[in-house]
Amino acid sequence: MNAYFLIINVGSTSVKTALFSTGLLAQAFVNADYGEQGLTLEVKAANAASIHHQQAGEHDAKTALTAVFSHWQQLLAANAWTVVAIGHRVVHGGDSFTGLVAITDDLLARLPQLDAYAPLHNPVNRLGMAMAAEALPSVAQFAVFDTAFHRQIPGYAGRYALPNNLPTSMAFYRYGFHGISCQHSVTAAAELLGKPAKELNLIILHLGGGASATAVRNGISVDTSMGFSPTEGLMMASRCGDIDPMIAIALQKSGMTLSELEAMLNHQCGLKGVAGDTDMRVILHGAEQNEPLAVLALAMFCYRIKKYIGAYYAILGDLSALVFTGGIGFHAASVRSQILQGMAHLGLVLDEIANSTTNDNNQDISAADSRSRILVVNAEEEREIARQIQAFLGY
């Protein structure tokens, strides 16, 4: 029997799914983008042409998942693929989950308690589990939490300086996110450097629509820029990142409602707030044309990252490698170059030729005299989930 793992990653506006062999070779993908503007589906199986479908009208996670699972049932039957496990990315595990867990009735009863921590993501993650159980009722399901990688962050780095007796049931802590991507980066860095993960000190820059920096000592997360929510830390596509909290209070006093404030901080700030666009490619083109706001947005984005590199270098002392990952981190050579300007004193020297000639593979782009290595790693969260299932089941 040919056995496969089906990985489900449900986001607030997208569904990403992939099928991996037990040897972690990708066999097929079915992805969907959904929202008020319609539903766009992309289906890709190995050695076959991509199939694109578009449906007009407003679509939500349920209709997107219905379409995705319909395609999977066709693909599985046509190729005689047998799914032995389904893995789900769950954004928030609170302080309860530190690794992969089997999805049981007990787990399903506990997960709704975490919805308040990630209201846009955890409910649709649970919906993915329910619909996967309907589509493939006899297949074991597993959950991997994006916060789990950061659960060993020490209290002095994780706690906020808030009173002990706040009148709320929520636990305010630096939970961190992008953990699945970070774990994949640790594994990839170990392979590129030829060293065990437990010997590596890394700074991982996951730069995409959401952006974060993570300090890793001996393969374990010891600090990360995202905190109680994904809004803290670096400047992002539409999230504000670090700001003075009194700004939010001043805006509320001036008449902005809580819902307006939340929408602004998460959807109208960052690159969009400064330069009017969330797409780094548009920002880079504008900067090349010397458009003032694009130049400013790019400089702010890179400067904030540079500050976090310096802070985490101070924490780690010895740095094995700086890792760029995420859509921007992996693809935007000019962003990497601007971030690393003037960093030679920290032992980070970029090979500009290697940086400008990267391909789809994970690579070392550091100069020969760079004291610490500089790596580019493709963010493969679905593959990392499959890897964890493979290790758990012993395939």
The domains located in the chain, with CATH, are: 3-145 (3.30.420.40), 194-381 (3.30.420.40)
* Model confidence pLDDT, tens digit, residues 78-124: 999 999 999 999 999 998 899 999 999 999 999 999 998 998 899 99
Q: Catalytic site residue 279? A: no
Q: What are 310's two structure tokens?
A: 């310096």
* CB distance 293 to 271 below 8 Å: no
Dist. CA 151–CA 202, nearest whole Å: 17
**pLDDT at 365 (0 to 100):** 98
Q: What are 205's two structure tokens?
A: 């820059």
Residue (of 362, 364, 334, 368) closest to 349 by Cα position = 368
Question: Under 8 Å CB-to-CB from 228, ≥6 apart: which residues?
Answer: 117, 160, 172, 173, 174, 175
**pLDDT at 358 (0 to 100):** 87
Dist. CA 204–CA 217, nearest whole Å: 11
Quickly tell me which residue has 């391909």 as its tokens: 359
Query: Which residue among 60, 105, 106, 146 is the active-site one?
Result: 146
**pLDDT at 47 (0 to 100):** 74
**pLDDT at 186 (0 to 100):** 98
**pLDDT at 50 (0 to 100):** 86
| b/e per residue 91-104 (b: at least 16 CB within 10 A) | bbbbebbeebbebe
3-state secondary structure of 369: coil
Q: What are 27's two structure tokens?
A: 């066999």
Report the predicted TM-score, pTM, of the whole model to 2 decimal places: 0.94
**pLDDT at 1 (0 to 100):** 63
The per-residue pLDDT string of the chain (395 residues; one tens digit each, 9 = 90 and over) reads 689 999 999 988 889 999 999 999 999 999 999 988 899 999 998 777 788 888 898 889 999 999 999 999 999 999 999 999 999 999 999 988 999 999 999 999 999 999 989 988 999 999 999 999 999 999 999 999 999 999 999 999 999 999 999 998 889 999 999 999 999 999 999 999 999 999 999 999 999 999 999 999 999 999 999 999 999 999 999 999 999 999 999 999 999 999 999 999 999 999 999 999 999 999 999 999 999 999 999 999 999 999 999 999 999 999 999 999 999 999 999 999 999 999 999 999 999 999 999 888 999 999 999 999 999 999 999 999 999 999 999 99
> Could you report how far apart the first and last alpha carbons of the chain are, in Å?
13
Question: Under 8 Å CB-to-CB from 157, ≥6 apart: which residues?
Answer: 174, 222, 223
**pLDDT at 191 (0 to 100):** 97
Other Cβ atoms less than 10 A from the Cβ of 76: the count is 18
